[in-house]
Structure formats: C-alpha cells, structure tokens
Amino acid sequence: MGLVETKKTIMEKPVLWIGVAIVALSLITLGVVVFLKMNSGTSDDVLAIVGGEKIYQKDLNEQIYGLDFEGTPDNPPEISNEEKNLLLQDLVAAKIAEKELNETSSQVTEDEINETIKQRLGDVIEDYTGYQERLVKKVVTNELMINKAKAKNVGWKAGQFLVCRFDYPYEFGLDINADESMQRVEKDKEYAKNLCTTIYNDVTAGKLSFVDAMKKLDNDPQIGLSVWGKTYALAEAFTKQDFEDETSFDTTFWDNVLKAKKGTLYMSDVIKVKNDKDENYHDGFYALVDINDEGPGQYRTYTKWLEAMKIKYKVEYKVSY
C-alpha cells in the first residue's frame, strides 16, 4: 500500500492511523535506503545488530502488521523488499536514537507519548485491541525518540548571505579553455576575494550594515547583478527551511553555512560549484554569512547524522543485500 492509498484508507477507517505513522516514519530514512533482498524466516532470526542489541524478524513482522492491522503480528501480509527495508531502517534508527538519548539522560516521557496519540487519534484509540494500542505507543515512542535525537544533533541556520562569484565563464557556457575565459576567471577571482574581504572588514568594524553590504554587492559593476542577472542569488536572506531544503545552492554551500555562528560574521574560503554541463565541480565564489538564528547540532542533515551513528554503534545487517 502506497502512502497516498494509505492516507485515503485512513480517512475512511481512522483506526488504521498506525499505518500512516509507520509509513511517515519510513520517509525519514529514505535517503539511506539499502535495498535488501530479505528472505522469509522465523521470528527469532536476527536481522540487524545495533551496539550489541539485536533486532529480530518478529520486530519487523510487528511493524508490517501495524501498517493496516491485517493478518497477525506473527504472520503479517507480504510486502515488497523495499518496504521491508524501510521498516528495518526505522527500527535501526529508533534503536540508535534510544542509545543517544540515554547518553544524555534525555527520555521520551509518557506524557509526550499520550499527548501525541491524543492529538492524532483522539478517542479512536479506544477502538484498538490491547495489543494494537501497545503497538501504537511503540511506534509513537520510536518516532519521538528519533525526532528528539534529531533536534539535538542536526543543526540548522537562518540569516542572510552574500556571495562574490567569479565563475561567469562556467555558468554561461563560455569556452573555459580559452585564454580569454581563464583570464576572466582569475581576474574576477582576485576581485571577488578583495571585495568580500573589504565588505567583511567594513561590517565587522561597524562601518557598514550587512543589509547595506548586500546592496553594495548587488550594485557592483564587475560581479554584481548587472553582470549576473536578477535570476542569480547573490545576496539574500534565508530561513531554516531554505537551509534544510538547500535552496539556491547545493550541499557544498550549505555545509559552509553550518560553520557560521550566530553573532559572528563568517567569511568562507573558496566554495566550489557543480557545473550543470558535466557535473564536475569548479571554484565558484567566496561567501559572507550573517546568522540571526540557529539550532544546535554538528550534523547538517539527519542522513549524515544517521550514517555517523551507524559507524559509532557498529551496525550490522544479518540479511542478504
């Protein structure tokens, strides 16, 4: 059952909300899917080990049963290998989150669990069997643990930036091997560095506000909007959502933004840009970043955090890939 079909079913049969919760939780780990060709086995078969703790086939069967409460926990309906893998990844992520929260004495409380269930189900929970109610609580607990661990470890930023670009020949399809193009890149690169450095010094010295600095760059005759065009993001404000969605630029830029700290103007080294034509990276610009809001965490994305935690806890998969 796909997510759209599941949502439709839930609208018609509210008692099946647990399926949406499990599928939605699966979407968190889509970026780290490893396609597994899972063989059916007994409930005591070990599927994965996380920091010495085992995840069994019966744990996965329970998750499959919870998608729409068809079959039984011991004998749920068959689903695709991809769906099984997503659910297994959820179980691994929840186990990791639990271990991380235990390290900081941070827990998901019974009140948080009950409040989440109440918000989503209301009195519908009364229609569940005792086992189904316990399964709902388990799924909600896993989701809340992952969200809490994510909030502690995945950082975000909001603020404003300006970029002093010098890669015009790359962006506009000029012959980059031509002497004229290379000379322009080198000339603009030196100019961009000097301009960014001057703006940085003026802003930190209180001679120029960052907003005025953004206008100064936009109006610059050599690397401003008159050269690049208004479709290019040279100086803009950005939100937490922009940061998470990688709006305007790719990962390389936003990884640099994560280095910036609130209250301290940040100037980057040269940032590389992906060439749309051949997917290679080239030197593209210097950036100044002014942060006005931020969230804690050393990892820029949930996926990167989860990958690091899998190494930390020596996650092993005991199923064929």
Query: Packing angle between helix 17-28 and helix 110-121, nearest 10 degrees?
Result: 120
Tokens 């643990």 map to which residue?
145
Tokens 């995945």 map to which residue?
154
Per-residue pLDDT of the chain (321 residues; tens, 9 = 90+): 333 233 333 333 444 455 545 545 554 444 444 334 344 568 789 999 999 999 999 999 999 999 999 999 999 999 999 999 999 999 999 999 999 999 988 899 999 999 999 999 888 888 899 999 999 999 999 999 999 999 999 999 999 999 999 999 988 888 877 888 889 999 999 999 999 999 999 999 999 999 999 999 999 999 999 999 988 999 999 999 999 999 889 889 999 999 999 999 999 999 999 887 777 899 999 999 999 999 989 999 999 999 999 999 999 999 863
Query: Against a cut of 0.75, is the pTM above it?
Result: no
Find out whether 289 and 161 touch, Cβ atoms under 8 Å: yes
CATH code given to domain 156-295: 3.10.50.40
Q: What is the pLDDT of residue 20?
A: 46
Q: What is the pLDDT of residue 39?
A: 42
DSSP state of 31: G
Instruction: Give the C-alpha separation, 210 to 215, whole Å.
Output: 9
Find out whether 225 and 209 touch, Cβ atoms under 8 Å: no
Q: What is the pLDDT of residue 251?
A: 87
Q: How far is CA 46 from the centre of its chain?
A: 29
The full set of domain ranges for the chain reads 3-154+305-317, 156-295
Extended strands (E) in the chain: 46-50, 53-56, 156-165, 235-238, 266-267, 271-274, 281-295, 316-317
Q: What is the pLDDT of residue 116?
A: 96
